[in-house]
Amino acid sequence: MSNAVEITREDSLAIVTLNRPEKKNAWTLEVFDALSAASAGLAKADGLRAVILTGAGGCFSAGLDYAMFAEFAARLGEIRAEMLAPPEGRPANRFQQPVVGWQALGVPVIAAIEGVAFGAGLQLALAADFRIAAPDARFSVMEAKWGLVPDMGITRSLPKLLRADQAKELIMSARVLEAPEALELGLITRIADTPMTAARAMADRLMERSPAALAAAKKLVEEGWCGEASATLALEARLQAGLMGTPGQSGTAMAELRRRFPASGRRGRGRS
């Protein structure tokens, strides 16, 4: 397992931690692949009853690392091909699997959120069955700031939580929500002063129930609330591949980079 994602087993509970605190747990390709490997490994783990997703250093995840934009630009044709051709027998592509793998896991998954959940970080949190956030946590579907759409399984998660008009407003505006508004909208499950403590307590309660019943309940909602996975995930990939590298998207991204990094040459920490 990559050091960028750590897994800790405590009997029947697994804690999966995004571990790049110096970058606010921003995502690189290493993080993408490590999260996919983590969900795949835990799907085969004996005795697993619940999972908690969290981020090191008091921050869930600020989204994509800025370095990813340069890497994607340099390999645009290859990245597009990966988006549009997921591995045989799997509906999700390389960039969706790190998120949708948690929805497919047959045990409850709880996200304990501090700091921010932006962009890819929010899409990961949305893949959890429950989201417990600190009172000062902030959230954003931030891809529109880069001239893009969210394409990491959001068609499998957001329709179960929000009305279509609410989802469009968040996706189109890329605005930042404070925890109370996120709770009011239904984007998070509850607010707690110490999200990890609350997540552990929830996991303990759920692990008292029948594992088979919990797995069936999760499957019922995951497969009954949304459209068929291969169609919705392919839609995300087609839309994103069509946007990436176009003049409009490149211009939008460059304008955002100039706003964040003025001519002084300062470099910021990665976030989406």
* Residue 268 binned pLDDT confidence (cut-offs 50, 70, 90): very low
| CATH number assigned to the domain covering 5-191+221-260 | 3.90.226.10
Summarised one tens digit per residue, pLDDT across range 42-78 is: 999 999 999 999 999 999 999 999 888 888 889 999 9
State the pLDDT at residue 1: 55
Summarised one tens digit per residue, pLDDT across range 108-134 is: 999 999 999 999 999 999 999 999 999
φ/ψ (deg, to 5) at 64: -75, 140
Give the predicted TM-score (pTM) of the model. 0.90
Domain segments of the chain: what residues?
5-191+221-260
